[in-house]
Amino acid sequence: MQIDGQVAVVTGGASGLGAATVRRLIGAGARVAILDHDGDKAQATAQEFGAHAIQTDVGDEASVEAAIKETVATLGTPRIAVNCAGIGLAARIVGREGKLSTDLFERTIRVNLMGTYNVMSYAAREMTAAEPLEGGERGVIVNTASVAYQDGQIGQTAYSASKGAIAAMCLPAAREFAKLGVRVMAIAPGLFETPMMQGLPPETVEGIVSNIPFPHRLGGPGEYAQLVQHIVENAYLNGETIRLDAAVRLPIR
């Protein structure tokens, strides 16, 4: 799909991987709606890049429905949907003094998995109702998993479960939408320079980087966005989860 002239929605687009994706898509000629829980930061990012900001709780179906309706009314039918919104809370299943983490598990699943599913569902409904583009394509959905879905660390049970489900639903979703000309892909990023990583002490970051084979550094958000662009433009990519990780495998902790 040619990006120029198309409408895109990017969740979590106010910062990190999402903001880099917004910048990349706008640079390629797309009109972009930023869907983010932080309305103020979304507005600031939208003003910087020339996008449209919509405060959205992706884990709330009604909020997502309203955001997609606003996108259609303001920019037009989205042909591209990129799900970057997510949280990375960590806790052991059974912590100190027998404390359980079921509340954290439920919240993580709601934001990461249900949030992705909600946006994919409402975006796909608009895409499948649109006229096909050249080659019969109607839209592209890119979801964000994580390398933790395959080698999650201690304390990442909730996060790994949410990201594993995102990877697992990629193929059946792609098969469902195939006859309607909508592709579904997922990216499983490794260790990237995101606000979450930037908040760690330097010695912690050094320890993390020591496990990355090559390139021996954290990934740049722009490299994630570059892969998003390639997925959108390469019509033969469908139904697959791509690890973007410099060959890293996460240690046990």
Domains of the chain, start order: 7-244 (3.40.50.720)
Q: Which of 143, 142, 149 is nearest to 163 (CA)?
A: 149
Please determine, for residue 200, whether its predicted confidence score (pLDDT) is greater than 80.
no
Query: What are the percentages of helix, strand and coil residues in the chain, rounded to 5?
Result: 50, 15, 35
pLDDT the model gives residue 205? 80
* Mean pLDDT within 121-148: 97
Catalytic position from the list 149, 159, 224, 236: 159
pLDDT (mean) for 117-146? 97
CA distance 201 to 198: 8
Under 8 Å between Cβ of 212 and 192 = no
> Active site includes 224?
no
Distance of CA 213 to the CA centre of its chain: 24
Residue 206 has pLDDT above 90, yes or no: no
What's the confidence (pLDDT) of residue 190?
95
**What is residue 192's predicted lDDT score, i.e. its pLDDT?**
95
